[in-house]
Amino acid sequence: MTEQIIPDYLSYATENHASDIFIIAGRPLSVKIDGKMSIFGERLMPDDTDRLIHQIYSMAGNRNIDPFLQTGDDDFSFSIPGLSRFRVNAYRQRGSLAAVIRVIAFDLPNPDILHIPEEVMSAADFTKGMVLVTGPAGSGKSTTMACIVDRINHSREGHIITLEDPLEYLHRHDKCIVSQREICTDTESYLVSLRATLRQSPDVILLGEMRDYETIQTAMTAAETGHLVLSSLHTTGAANTIGRIVDVFEPSQQRQVSIQLSMVLQAVISQQLVPDINGHNIPVFEVMRLNPAIRNMIRDNKVHQIDGVISSSAHEGMRAMDQSLLELYKQGRITRETALKYASNGDMLKRKL
């Protein structure tokens, strides 16, 4: 095992547009490209992973590894000039050290190249309220939010504050001032930093993730008081997202939260990655924009009716997940099997196909 192996594989992963690198004892070092795993070299032993992860910490500005060795978990990011940024999640498994490294390009993503539709990008036009980007882990939520923030940064003046764990995309000041704060490095927690942010004259707040009811409550209050709040949740579908937020609260609070949410929410963008006919992953979106009918459904706890409104409201800038899949199939970009596999209502889509 050579000392040079980590820089070599970071270079290989970046040049081949890999999404992740896996360092885990018991199998060779692995790289994920378009959802498929490639393995390199010989099986790693615990001593190998220990040495590699210590090397990563030294590359990350000699980051202190002691807290990770004590707790068994750590999240951080670092850059290699001229190559890329990397987000690292280090953890302990079966008594040995392991890590998953996400590759993040220096350049901000281009929504046209990523096939992010205008219905999604138009979320940048909101000046207040809450916009949620939802989907499974690794579905590109951070990338979508970065694209929306970048459009705001180039289209109007204001102060954008991002709270992330860790920082992924780096935004340069343009028409907006952009303050980017990393949890644990620049501030204690999402909740502490979000409360402080309200005193920092923000116009747009990007909250990397809403993890608990206190953070959700504070984010909704920020959205109520005239700020635009962008955040993400690990949910699939707009209706499920509403249910997830309300269920975080005590039953005695849920009625009030439903009313508050119906007033502050502006849009829910739900996304997933699906393989195209060439084996590359492409994003597919569902977009719900809050019209009077949907606000009433949220307030009256009739979220099960929301999907029907989304399907029939394309003229209002909405799109259903299955409609997006159907369009990709008609364009010849995905197979029939892929469309059905990722559909919300497979039976209904089957009839349309």
Residue range 314-319: average pLDDT?
94
How are beta strands 84-93 and 96-104 bridged, if at all? antiparallel
Residues 223 and 158 in one domain: yes
Instruction: Give the pLDDT score at 167.
Output: 82
Look at residue 285 and give its three-state secondary structure: strand
Distance, in Å, from the CA atom of 44 to the CA atom of 9, rounded to the nearest integer, reads 14
Residue 324 maps to a domain: no
Name the maximum alpha-carbon separation found in the chain.
Answer: 62
The residue segments making up the domain with residue 125 are: 118-319
Question: Which of the four pLDDT bands, split at 50, 70 and 90, describes residue 314?
Answer: very high
pLDDT tens track for 249-297: 999 999 999 999 999 999 999 999 999 998 888 999 999 999 999 999 9
pLDDT beyond 50 at 2: no
Q: Is the pLDDT of residue 5 over 80?
A: no
The dihedral formed by the CA atoms of 263, 235, 213 and 204, expressed in degrees to the nearest 10: -60
Clarify whether residues 315 and 181 are in a common domain. Answer: yes
Q: Which of 244, 293, 255 has the alpha carbon at shortest distance from 132?
A: 244
pLDDT in tens, 48-79: 999 999 999 999 999 999 999 999 999 898 98
In angstroms, rounded to a whole number, what is the distance separating the alpha carbons of residues 344 and 329? 15
149/99 same-domain check: no
pLDDT at 183: 85
Tell which residue, 127, 123, 125, 105, has the closest CA to residue 114.
Answer: 105
| Cα 140 from Cα 104, distance rounded (Å) | 11
Within a domain: residue 350? no
- Domain containing residue 77: CATH number: 3.30.450.90
Q: Are residues 239 and 298 both part of a single domain? A: yes
Q: Looking at the structure, do residues 95 and 187 belong to the same domain, yes or no?
A: no
Identify whether residues 230 and 159 lie together within a single domain: yes
Q: What is the CATH number of the domain that holds 243?
A: 3.40.50.300
Partnered with residue 158 across adjacent β-strands are 176
Q: How confident is the model at residue 338 (pLDDT cuts 50, 70, 90)?
A: very high
Specify whether 128 is located in the same domain as 80: no
Q: What domain count does the chain have? A: 2
Residues 239 and 100 in one domain: no
Please report the pLDDT score of residue 169 as a whole number.
86
200, 299: one domain: yes
User: Of 75, 104, 133, which residue constitutes the final position of a domain?
Assistant: 104
In a domain, 326, yes or no: no
Region label for 210, one of left (φ > 0), alpha (ψ between -120 and 50) or beta (otherwise): beta
Q: What are phi and psi of 34, to 5 degrees?
A: 50, 40
Distance CA(142)–CA(146), nearest Å, equals 6
pLDDT of residue 331: 94
Same domain? 22 vs 164: no
CA distances 333 to 109, 282, 283, 336, Å, are 21, 9, 12, 10
Model confidence at 3, pLDDT cuts 50, 70, 90, reads very low
Amino acid at 184: C
* 338 belongs to a structural domain: no
Instruction: Look at residue 1 and tell me whether its pLDDT is greater than 60.
Output: no
| Domain membership flag for residue 47 | yes
Whether residue 4 is predicted with pLDDT greater than 60 in this model: the reply is no
Angle made by CA atoms 133, 286, 197, in degrees to the nearest 5? 15
pLDDT, averaged across the chain: 92
Same domain, 75 and 153: no
Rounded Cα gap, residues 218 and 223, in angstroms: 9
| 349 occurs within a structural domain | no
Element (H, E) at 164: strand 158-164
Tell me, yes or no, whether 195 and 91 share the same domain. no
pTM over 0.85: no
Q: What is the model's pLDDT at position 51?
A: 93
Q: Is residue 353 part of a domain?
A: no
